[in-house]
Amino acid sequence: MKVIILPGYSANNKEWAESICVSLGNDHVCVIHEWGHWIGGSFSLKNETDNIIEEIGGDEVSIIAKSVGTRVTMNLIPKIINRLDKVILCGIPTRFESESVKTLYRDNLKKLGGQNVICIQNTRDPFSPFANIKEFINSVDEKIKVFEKPRNDHEYPYYEDFKVFLLSK
């Protein structure tokens, strides 16, 4: 199974993505998406989405996304839903810029189905605390599991949890 990692915006997240790939070992083909601004370009939602679709190819894929990667995931879902296996969302930022962004998350989370997606949110994530995410996700689909982790930062080193979910049936 192919897994694509969509890290947070900062280039510091590349190390997080690499750690996930090491943790997954030989059970998965791991692809780390490098944002355009990491390699001298700029961040464009359309370009990033197009590049990710190219990286995925025609394969069935799972996604592990953090922060801005969760928003990119919401844009990808309608384009790859027929070959999307599982989705792990970490550190969802709920400082949604507009109602249209909330609608983007709501509509695309509904398409996934509760058994194919999990959310992991730190108790006091500075971009959005667990309580806010749990309330939002439950308003979309009560079957989507939202896991609380006892941290007060925007770091998501839950590699074993990722692996267990990806390997579950």
Mean pLDDT by 10 residues, the chain (169 residues): 94 95 92 92 91 93 97 96 96 78 92 92 95 93 96 97 93
The CATH code of the domain that includes 161 is: 3.40.50.1820
Per-residue model confidence (pLDDT) at position 97:
59
How many domains are contained in the chain? 1
Q: Are 163 and 135 in contact (CB under 8 A)?
A: no
Say how many residues make up the chain: 169
Q: Are 33 and 3 in contact (CB under 8 A)?
A: no
Per-residue model confidence (pLDDT) at position 95:
66
Residue 62 structure tokens: 């799972």
Per-residue model confidence (pLDDT) at position 96:
58
CA distance 28 to 32: 12
Per-residue model confidence (pLDDT) at position 27:
82
Angle, in degrees to the nearest 10, between helices 68-80 and 99-112 = 50
Per-residue model confidence (pLDDT) at position 7:
97
Which residue segment(s) compose the domain that 22 sits in?
2-167
CA distance 129 to 107: 22
Q: DSSP letter at 114?
A: G
Tokens 């500075």 sit at which residue?
A: 126
**Which residue, 152, 165, 59, 56, is CA-closest to 114?**
165
Q: Where are the beta strands (DSSP E) in 34-116?
A: 61-66, 84-90
